[in-house]
Amino acid sequence: MPHKEKLEELKRRREEARAMGGARKLEARRNAGVLNARERLHHLLDNDSFLEAGLHAYSIREQTRDKSPADGKIAGFGEIEGRPVALVANDFTVLGASSSQVNMKKMGHMKRTARERGLPLILLGESSGGRMPDRMGSAGRATIGQDREEYRRTRETPWVSTLMGQSYGSSTWYSVISDVVFARKGAVMAVTSPRVTSLAISQEIEPEDLGGWKLHTDVTGLVDKAFDTDEEVLDAVKTFLSYLPSNSQLPPPRQQTWEEADQNELLNILPEERRRVYDARKAVHTIADLGSVFELKDRFGKSIVTALARIEGRTVGFIANNPRFRAGAIDPDACDKAVSFIVLCDSFNIPIIFMVDQPGFYIGLEGERKRAPGKIMNWMNALAQVTVPRFSVIVRKSYGQAYLNMGGGRNSDEVLAWPTADLGFMEPRLAVNVLHGVKEDEDPDRFSKLASELDRGTEAWDLAGLYEAQYVIAPQETREHLARLLTVYEGKQVGEHLLSNWPTTF
């Protein structure tokens, strides 16, 4: 056979590169129930669709050249349900997937191609951070920051990051500038490892305390969802991308078939007593196509629900106050959660639906210490720059300044109000005390009279009479009205995506 020697060498080099960190390390991962980097790609991508770039890359240092197949980062292009994507999977079995001069060139190639060709970028994170000694001393400094756009994020295409093990250095940086982050429980994301941190501060630090999944789903909000297995994390990546276009110049994909719930169930979800709580997620699930709701940051800022969903096959983003938590009052975490979701929807042409039932902002020392005023105004600033259609459904309470944050006034293109809508400035019983200093237990008759006076002019009909609400509808009519409005606004032209350059965390 012509060129036999060279072809045999090619085969041998391919096998060596695909052997990754060796049989012993791969066996250890199997025994731990953890997928290796190539198995993760196999689970995520359509069969036989992976086109690998940089299989024959290796460490720039002679002493580690033979220990660095693919230099610890597996990069290339593939397809998910027939749609092209660019991706990088960190191979922890090779030098801890540490970042080097060579493998960061691979990363840059994927980012650049994804941006220029309009492809989603998927980053399967698990890394030990910067490679030592490559990053040591002046020579190491010269390898950093050579690409001034290395951490550019202007949302031309969706970015999805996963955390499926120890994730420090580049895995952390790219996760927090991605649109969503999915983690396997047990994964850790931090600036640097617990060992380095413990040495730096002379205090023993547990990995979970430093950057475990509970910290990042409950406290920081930097992780959107956590799962038990690698497979579930990768399935979440597929699900998330199914709602989004491949890039910001395209509309989201539309499913051609769907089913709907019994819309009369909304009458049972909302209590007749306006001070009783309910779970807003149930209302969102009822209005959306059956099985289509994909909630993000469900453990963070719980007084707000943010969820991708579909109505008659069209992708929408729901932002719903949830009275089950803090009576639906909006706290600083909920502000951050809502703004990050608004930025996601606006960047990728997803109409926003507000489901409104809020008593105002959560006030007190905790909120002020977490910079509540600034976060409230961040939300207002973001709303002022939204370019996608916005629809507001006033379910019950819409009090105070937060009326505007939840789509009131010109912050929505169309406002729909249920007959149960309550447009007071604050809860009448509280307002009596604030305005008149009258307490119910001291003067019940006067208290009741003053409360009734403050409750006037606050119903759906009053808002509709001023044409501040365009529709007053029965709850069970909500889905139909939204579906028709989505058709009306389907052709709305989106120019520049003003929120595409919004900070990824703030």
For residue 167, tell me if it sits in a domain.
yes
Question: Cis (ω within 30 of 0) for the bond into 133?
Answer: yes
Domain identity same for 71 and 196: yes
Q: Tell me the average pLDDT of the chain.
A: 89
Residue 470 falls within a domain, yes or no? yes
Are residues 277 and 396 part of one domain? yes
Structural domain containing residue 80? 4-143+155-243
Q: Does one domain contain both 412 and 301?
A: yes
For residues 310 and 238, state if they share a domain: no
Which residue, 188, 180, 241, is CA-closest to 216?
A: 188
Run of H or E including 417 = strand 414-417
Q: What are phi and psi of 480, to 5 degrees?
A: -60, -45
Residue range 378-396: mean pLDDT, rounded: 96
Question: Domains in the chain: how many in total?
Answer: 2
Based on the fold, state whether residues 200 and 276 are members of the same structural domain: no
Q: In the prediction, which pLDDT does 101 show? A: 84
- 220 and 315 together in one domain: no
Do 198 and 90 fall within a single domain?
yes
Amino acid at 467: Y
Residues whose CB falls within 8 Å of the CB of residue 304, separated by 6 or more in sequence, listed in order = 319, 320, 321, 322, 330, 334, 337, 338
CA–CA gap between residue 496 and residue 248 (Å, rounded) = 10
Q: Decide which of 286 and 169 is more confident.
A: 286
- The pTM of the whole model exceeds 0.75: yes
**β strands within 64-201, DSSP E:** 73-80, 83-90, 121-128, 159-168, 180-184, 188-189
Task: Tell me, yes or no, whether 218 and 269 share the same domain.
Answer: no
Task: Choose one of 210, 243, 276: the last residue of a domain.
Answer: 243
* Domain-ending residue, one of 209, 243, 277: 243
Q: What is the mean pLDDT of residues 478-506?
A: 88
Q: What was the pLDDT predicted at 436? A: 46
Instruction: Tell me the per-residue pLDDT of 432-478, one tens digit each, with 9 for 90 and over.
Output: 454 445 566 555 655 555 545 445 557 888 888 999 999 999 999 99
The answer to whether position 480 is within a domain reads yes
pLDDT value of position 440:
60
Give per-residue pLDDT as tens, 85-96.
999 999 999 988
Structural tokens at position 363:
């006030």
- What band does 115 get if pLDDT is binned at 50, 70 and 90? very high
Do 215 and 347 have their domain in common? no
Residues 271 and 401 in one domain: yes
Q: Are 382 and 499 in contact, with CB atoms under 8 Å apart?
A: yes
Closest CA to 473 of 485, 481, 483, 462: 481
Q: Is the residue at 384 inside a domain?
A: yes
Among 143, 140, 147, 178, which residue's Cα sits nearest to residue 162?
Answer: 178
CATH number, position 197: 3.90.226.10
Is the domain of 234 the same as that of 275? no
Mean pLDDT, range 172-176, rounded to an integer: 92
Do 298 and 165 have their domain in common? no
pLDDT exceeds 60 at position 430: no
The domain boundary, picked from 196, 211, 243, lies at 243
Q: Is residue 429's pLDDT more than 70? A: no
Is 411 within a domain?
A: yes
Domain assignment present for 496: no
pLDDT, tens digit (0-9, with 9 covering 90-100), for 289-311: 999 999 999 999 999 999 999 99
For residue 434, being part of any structural domain is answered with: no
pLDDT tens across 222-265, in order? 999 999 999 999 999 999 999 999 999 999 999 999 999 999 99
Per-residue pLDDT of 325-343, as tens digits, reads 999 999 999 999 999 999 9
- Considering the domain boundaries, does residue 148 fall inside one? no
